[in-house]
Amino acid sequence: MGMVNTILAAILCAMAPFATTEGSPLKTEQTEFTFKLGKETISAVRGAYEKGEYSEFLSEMDTSYEEADLEGLIQMRQKVVADDFPEKWERRFFDLQKEKNRELLNVLSDQDDSIFAEKVRSAAANLSTPEQEKAISKLNSLIAMAPNAGANEDENKVIAIDLEYEYKLLHAKLPITADSKESFPQKRQDQQIALRMEKMDKMVEASKTFQDHSLKQAVELAAANLDARLARNLDGADLNALVKGKKKPAGKLEAKVYSILSSYQERFSDLLKELD
């Protein structure tokens, strides 16, 4: 997969939050559909994160990054990205995403308050204002850029943070023991969410000294609904379990959702092929 293709793939997986807070796509490592709303998981992780319950893990990742050989990751980021990518391809993705979300919401009954229906509403929710979408687009334009390749010092700080957390998200490891094996996917997921929260905090802190006011505002706007977009990602990952065959549709509503998701997965794949 070429670099432009890689970036679009990151955006496809990063419906929320914006891709530069994501680094690599959100890998929940779920093995089955879970009947728990994403907002409940994010709220629990946020509470634990703010209480310092991930401090030891985050400190270990700091040490790992300080000792890391980043040459391969940096070389990958040094490949040329087409200048018109953000405007041309990102717009096409978001338009297709909105179209899919409208279809998903249209199959729901207003009276249906089941967990599955709530997941569909969450995954298809429009959480960004036009200003936030513009902020997301601006930050997306910095995805996967090589160190010091930004237009100014402030962009280079964002790129440096993005590089750091791409490494951490790819290399975060949780020892598997007989006691922890059953809960490994959930713990791994929660650790990655904590990393994304810390990454956003680091960007916000860095932006306090930015001279580039548009970039400063972009970070602030993107941070404003981070948790909501993380929650939407989790619910979207659960629905995608239908398409991946990890859960068979049960009933007419799930079958309709399955059909919509399958159709748009093919259309997103076709969009990616255009970049080959």
What confidence score (pLDDT) does residue 14 get? 41
Question: Which residues have CB under 8 Å from 55's CB, separation 6+?
Answer: none
Long-range Cβ contact pairs of 219-222 (< 8 A, separation 24 or more): 219/135, 219/139, 219/158, 220/135, 221/129, 221/131, 221/132, 221/135, 222/17, 222/18, 222/21, 222/132, 222/135, 222/136, 222/139
Instruction: Write the pLDDT tens digit of every residue in 157-184.
Output: 999 999 999 999 988 765 544 444 445 6
Q: 191: which 2 tokens?
A: 């650790």
Q: Where are the domains of the chain?
A: 3-15+34-77+113-273
List all residues 6 or more positions away from 199 whose beta carbon is below 8 Å from its beta carbon: 21, 23, 161, 164, 165
Within 172-251, residue ranges assigned H as helices are 184-207, 213-224, 226-243
Structure tokens belonging to residue 131: 């200003």
pLDDT top residue among 266 and 62: 62
Predicted pLDDT at 33: 53
Reduce the DSSP state of residue 228 to 3 states and report it.
helix
Question: For residue 84, is pLDDT > 80?
Answer: no
Candidate ranges 21-25, 41-45, 84-88, 135-139; pick with highest mean pLDDT:
41-45
Helix, coil or strand: residue 13: helix
The 10s digit of each residue's pLDDT in 180-218 is: 444 567 888 899 999 999 999 999 999 999 999 999 999
Amino acid at 81: V
So what's the pLDDT on residue 24? 40
SS3 content of the chain, % helix, strand, coil (to 5): 70, 0, 30
